Every structure is written in C-alpha cells, then in structure tokens.
Structure 1
Amino acid sequence: MLVLAGLLGTGSAVQLTRDNPAATLTTSIGSTLRVPGKPATMPWPGEGSAELMIEGLGRLGGSGGGPAKAIGSVAKVMTAFVILQEHPLNGNQEGPELTVSAEDVADYERRKATGQSLVHVVEGEELTQRDALEALMLPSANNIAHQLAIWDAGSEEAFVDKMNDAADELGLANTHYSDPSGFLPTTISTAADQVILGRAALKMPVFAEIVELPDATIPVAGQINNYNDLLGESGVFGIKTGSTDQAGGCLLFASRVKVGSRTLILVGAVFNQPGANTPEQLAATNRVVRKLLTAVRKTVKEYQLLAAAPAGKVETEWGATATVSPATPLKVVGWPGLSVPVKVETTPPAAGIAAGQEVGTVEASGVRVKLRTDAAAPEPSLWWKLTRF
C-alpha cells in the first residue's frame, strides 16, 4: 500500500507540474477585405473612353471600353519607351548624337505642308538622344519620331515592328502601331492599354523627368514648350497629349495624389474627346481630366478596414476562451468597394491567457496592427491537471 501511495503521489506531482499545452487561435479575418461604403460615381466622359489606376492600390475604374481607336501623338509614348529600352540613359546623360540628314530635312518639309506638329531642323544639325526625346515628348514633333525610328532601326517599318513587339510584351491586347508619331489613324489603342504603357514608361527615370519638363532648349529650334496644359495642375506631372481629326483629343496623364502623409501615383487616360480642331479637342479632354482629378481627391482617402472589435478567439485545452481584437482600428488608403489583400500572422499563447496579450498581427496596404486578447482566461483546475492525458 505504501508503494502504491508513493506511486500515486509521484504521478500526481508529475501531472500537476507538466507544462500546459498551447492554446489554439482562430480569426474571422479573411484574406481580402473590401473598403466599406458605396462606390463613388466618377464623372466619366460622355464620349470617348477613360481609365484610372493608382499605383499600389489598383484600378479605380474606367469608361467607354469599346473597340480600339486612333490615339494621335500619345503613340509617341511607345516610341520613347522603345528608344529608351534600346538605348538606356541614366542621370544627366545626353546619349549619342543624331545628325540631321538631307532626307530628314525633306521629311520635315513634307510634313510641314500637311500642318503636322514639328520642330525646325537643318541639315548637319546635331541632336543628342535626350534632345530628340525632349522634342518628341514636349512639342510632339512628328519629324523627330521619324528620325528616331530611322536612327534606331534603319526604317520606320522595322521600328514599328519593335513598337508592336513591345506592346505584345506588355499585354496591350487592343493596341496596334502603324507609325512612330501617331499621325496615321491606323495607329490605334484604348485608354486601358495606354495606362499600362504609361505605368511602365514612368519606371524609366529619364522618361519621367522629360515628360515633367515645362520646356527645354534644343539646337536650332531653341526653346520648345510642353503641349500639356495641365502640367503642374492638381499634381499632374505628365505624360502625353494627342489629337487628330480621327483621334479627337487624348491625354495620357500622371498625377501625384497626397493622402495624409502618403503620396500616391495616379496614371490615367482620357481619349477621343470631341472638337473641331486641336485646341478644342484638348480643351474638352482637359475639362474631363480636371473633373476626374477632383473626384479622385474626394474619393481616395483613409478608410477603416477593420474595427478594434472581436475578430477571433483563443481557446485552451481546458475550455477557457478569450476573444481577440485588433489593438487599434486598421485603416488604409483606398476607396469604397476596393478589395484589399490582408495578411494575418498568429502566435497562440503557449500556456495561460493574459488580458492584452499580443497574439499576432493583421496587415493591409503596408499598415500593421497588433492582435491582442480582450481579457484573461481562467487557469486550469486541479482536477483537469490531474486527469488530463
């Protein structure tokens, strides 16, 4: 009997001193959450098409998703993109020189007779690659688009092939280029496709720097001015205007949108706006863009994605529970209806549960909030400790 009592006593002591098993933690937080509220009604144009995308957040919306149409000089964004892919520039590099030939001068004279957008050139003039890109993107010189194409690929046809290859690589399914300037109405695209291209082009620092210039100075032509009248307004820092009889007014644009301490990059497009001539077409385009930018600033704000309320539960092996909540509301920048990816990481308590105990984190859009227990949970009873397996 003494031996049995001793064994029982030893067993009880072992049972009572064993570590408590880890608790389990479950949450009701999904892998994506939608910003609450009614989606805003954006002032999309009544004609043509439009598209808005905010880097790091997603697509704000679009309108007029019909067939591809002429885009005018917005085509020069792809021309610059291909040139900088083939001949990268860094920092203040000017790049190699392009010598204006007699053929370049003849091309200029032919285009001048049809009222195209040009910069004056003379035979023997030397333009650096940066000069040429500035002439291409600011005053939208069709003759420089031609000269760059010949310089890079030997012919316009070969260069246009490169443009279309680049479009395929970027997934621009509704885009086709027929020329490097966009003068031909058979150079077609959509607002959505060109926003994809604009985002890719802005990742090239030299491209982003050039399209933000209000003016520049190049040989022979002297000071050249940026045709983008919205430059510097409402955070706009590019990208390219376009207008022809077939294309109407077009603008591929980028804007810095400040929300609290964050600066977001908006890339948008408004295409195919009506008008009797280029000034009327671009004025109509700019009116739409201004309305959209005003609406964006009213809509894109900080919203509560997750309240500081129970969003999970910790449960012990002995049946004690405690709810789990974010320590503070999880707030993100976005707009009503936006789907936001959410990452939840948990670290269940190894033993008892104390009030305010950190048990994980929840993160969305770079904002991380701690998950904590809302209350303490009772310790296990002596009977549970003695009888557990």
Structure 2
Amino acid sequence: MRTPILRRRVARWGTAVLLAAVPATTAVPAEALPISPLPSTGQAALWFAGHSMTGGPVSTPQPIASVTKVMTAYQVLADHPLKPGDQGPTITVLASEVTAYRAARLGGESVIPVAAGERISEHTALEAMLLPSANDMARILARWDAGGISGFVSRMNATAALLGMRNTHYADPAGVNTATVSTATDQLRLDQMAMADPVLAGVVGEKSATVPVAGTVRNSNPLLGTDGFVGTKTGWTTAAGSCLMFAAREPDRHGGARMVYGVLLGQPGGPSSGAIFASATRMVNAARAGL
C-alpha cells in the first residue's frame, strides 16, 4: 500500500510542521452575530482567517453525496502525485467498466460516456470525475489506483483517520452509497487540505474540460468565477440532500489573498436548486465582513 500524502508529509517535515500547516481555528458561535449567515437546516461549517463557525448537528455523520469525490481525488493524487501541467500515467478503461457505466446511466446516476479500451490520463480522469461529477469515473480511478474499489475505499478511510476526520466513513468512491457519511466540520478540514494541492485546486477551479469520448464537460458548480469562488465540489442525492464544499479567495489589503473555506450538508432543494449556492455566497460575504 502506498503511503497516504499526510503520512509522507509527517515523514518529510515532522509532526510539528505538519500541524502548523493545518490552520488552527477559533470558534465563533453563530448566535453571537446579529444575523447568522448559516442556513437553519442541515449542517454548515465556515473557516476564515483562523476563525470558524458551525451550525447544525456537526457531530452527527450523514450522507455527503458527490462531495465524496474530493477525497477520491485527494487519495489518487496522494498515491500518484502530479505536478502542475503534468498529465500523469494513462488509464485504460475496461470492458466491464463500460457495462457498469451503462447500468449506472439506466439507474439515473451522474455518469460520463466511456468506451472499452479508451485511454485517458490521470489528470483528465480527475477532470472527468470532478467537473461533471461522474460516478463511473470515480470507480475507474479507484480500480486503477488500488487494483479494486474495496482496497481503494480502505485507503480513503485510512487517510481520513490521518486527517483527524473522526466522524467520517467512506463506503464507496462516488458518494452514491448512503453508508458514505461525514460531517461538515470533517469535510471542512479536507477542503483545506485538498485546496493546498495545486493540481487538485486547479482541476476544481476549471469551468470546463475536454475528455475522450464525452468531449467537453462542464463544472457543476455555478459559483466558479463569481465572488472569488475557486472551488470545490457539489453533491446531491435523495438521502444526502444538497451538499456543497466550497473555497473562495479573498484579496487582502497588502495585495495578497486569504482563503475562505466552507461546507454545507443536508440542504433542501434538488440538484437544480440555487438555494445552496445563495447560502454559500452569504457565508463568504460574512467572512469578508469579518464574521
């Protein structure tokens, strides 16, 4: 088994340096604010400039839908690191995976067309998974990375444990399985770590990409390019409700930029509802106002 990225960083930098790289937070209770920017339903977590805010039952694991794919991408890049601009190794799509794609499409899943013998680079496969939220590409990446989906899921859970995600359990790489559960606070930590990887941050910040067979695919996150949003991942299932992991860049007075990170889980509205994106925008605006 390859060493997860967090363990490699411990070996390279030492525990003290690693912990310093994971921002410390100061809790800011929502009720202390005149008007809370957090929604009144589901779970929410927000981080900005060392301060955090949470809302809802953030100690209770719940399904997280396609937000799961952030950990899938993080794990793939831990096992097969890429540098910005690299395409990485080539993945060959198996005939059995084409059969699985067809079954998933008939089952109403979010998938992307694939063909037997199709050759796709690691980087392009990450785009195909993360932008249109393709469940079949998540499974293809898992098989390629670990030799099988169950082995890959074990790696995901080991990495979650290393990241201190105590209320998280992954049962699949796509988020379709309702046994894949987490909390807004756990996913907030992953958001920060994932966006620290320039390749992963670059992919989730793309509005569109071109992949074999499917052609042009578009990002399911309509916030990109507005109000400083640069990521991260949408999600929806009947069991999970609407979910969103997000990141926004906030310019500072010195010409630099600071990041705002947030997670929303279990929000009302289907995949075409704009309510969750409006909630994320309110949260980012609150961060800009200094919480």
Alignment correspondent of 1:211: 204
Which of 26, 41, 52 is 1:47 aligned to?
Answer: 41
Deviation at residue 235 of structure 1 after TM alignment: 0.3
In 2, distance between residues paired with 1:48 and 1:212?
Answer: 26
Which of 36, 41, 51 is 1:59 aligned to?
Answer: 51
Query: 5+ unaligned residues in a row in structure 1: which ranges?
Result: 1-37, 301-334, 336-389
Deviation at residue 66 of structure 1 after TM alignment: 4.4
In 2, distance between residues paired with 1:264 and 1:72?
Answer: 28
1:227 and 2:224 matched = no
Deviation at residue 259 of structure 1 after TM alignment: 3.3
Q: Deviations over 1:316-360 (max 9, x none)?
A: xxxxxxxxxxxxxxxxxxx5xxxxxxxxxxxxxxxxxxxxxxxxx
In 2, distance between residues paired with 1:174 and 1:66?
Answer: 7
In 2, distance between residues paired with 1:297 and 1:228?
Answer: 21
Higher helix share: 2
Alignment correspondent of 2:144: 151
In 2, distance between residues paired with 1:42 and 1:102?
Answer: 51
Deviation at residue 53 of structure 1 after TM alignment: 1.1
Alignment correspondent of 1:171: 164
In 2, distance between residues paired with 1:42 and 1:263?
Answer: 24
Deviation at residue 42 of structure 1 after TM alignment: 2.5
Which of 296, 317, 331 is 2:287 aligned to?
Answer: 296
Deviation at residue 231 of structure 1 after TM alignment: 0.7
Alignment correspondent of 2:261: 267
Does the 8 Å CA contact 1:249/1:284 hold for their aligned counterparts? Answer: no
In 2, distance between residues paired with 1:164 and 1:158?
Answer: 10
1:98 and 2:72 matched = no
In 2, distance between residues paired with 1:212 and 1:75?
Answer: 17
Does the 8 Å CA contact 2:61/2:181 hold for their aligned counterparts? Answer: yes
Does the 8 Å CA contact 1:215/1:226 hold for their aligned counterparts? Answer: yes
Report the secondary structure of 2:133's partner residue.
coil
In 1, distance between residues paired with 2:102 and 2:212?
Answer: 18
In 1, distance between residues paired with 2:54 and 2:226?
Answer: 22
Counterpart of 1:290, as a letter, is T
Counterpart of 1:288, as a letter, is S
Does the 8 Å CA contact 1:271/1:285 hold for their aligned counterparts? Answer: no
Counterpart of 2:130, as a letter, is M
Q: Deviations over 1:215-237 (max 9, x none)?
A: 00011111000000111111000
Does the 8 Å CA contact 2:260/2:287 hold for their aligned counterparts? Answer: no
Deviation at residue 271 of structure 1 after TM alignment: 1.1
Alignment correspondent of 1:110: 103
Counterpart of 2:55, as a letter, is S
Deviation at residue 284 of structure 1 after TM alignment: 1.9
Counterpart of 1:58, as a letter, is G
Alignment correspondent of 1:73: 66
Higher strand share: 1
Deviation at residue 163 of structure 1 after TM alignment: 0.3
Deviation at residue 293 of structure 1 after TM alignment: 1.7
Does the 8 Å CA contact 1:256/1:266 hold for their aligned counterparts? Answer: yes
TM-score (norm 1): 0.65
Alignment correspondent of 2:13: none
In 2, distance between residues paired with 1:186 and 1:175?
Answer: 10
In 2, distance between residues paired with 1:204 and 1:290?
Answer: 24
Q: What does 1:355-374 correspond to in 2, within 5 Å?
A: none
1:286 and 2:277 matched = yes
Does the 8 Å CA contact 2:230/2:248 hold for their aligned counterparts? Answer: yes
Deviation at residue 39 of structure 1 after TM alignment: 4.9
Q: Deviations over 1:243-272 (max 9, x none)?
A: 000111111000011232241111111111
Report the secondary structure of 1:178's partner residue.
coil
The alignment yields a C-alpha RMSD, in angstroms, of: 1.5
Q: Deviations over 1:5-51 (max 9, x none)?
A: xxxxxxxxxxxxxxxxxxxxxxxxxxxxxxxxx95342211100111
Count of residue pairs brought into register by the alignment: 259
Query: 5+ unaligned residues in a row in structure 2: which ranges?
Result: 1-30
Which of 222, 241, 244 is 1:248 aligned to?
Answer: 241
Alignment correspondent of 2:113: 120
- Radius of gyration: which is bigger? 1
In 1, distance between residues paired with 2:243 and 2:217?
Answer: 20
Alignment correspondent of 2:3: none
| Percentage of pairs with the same residue | 40
In 2, distance between residues paired with 1:256 and 1:131?
Answer: 25
TM-score (norm 2): 0.86
In 1, distance between residues paired with 2:52 and 2:80?
Answer: 34
Deviation at residue 136 of structure 1 after TM alignment: 0.9
In 2, distance between residues paired with 1:62 and 1:148?
Answer: 33
In 2, distance between residues paired with 1:146 and 1:176?
Answer: 17
Counterpart of 1:201, as a letter, is A
Alignment correspondent of 2:23: none
Alignment correspondent of 1:329: none
Which of 130, 133, 136 is 2:126 aligned to?
Answer: 133
In 1, distance between residues paired with 2:185 and 2:234?
Answer: 16
Report the secondary structure of 1:279's partner residue.
coil
In 2, distance between residues paired with 1:200 and 1:296?
Answer: 19
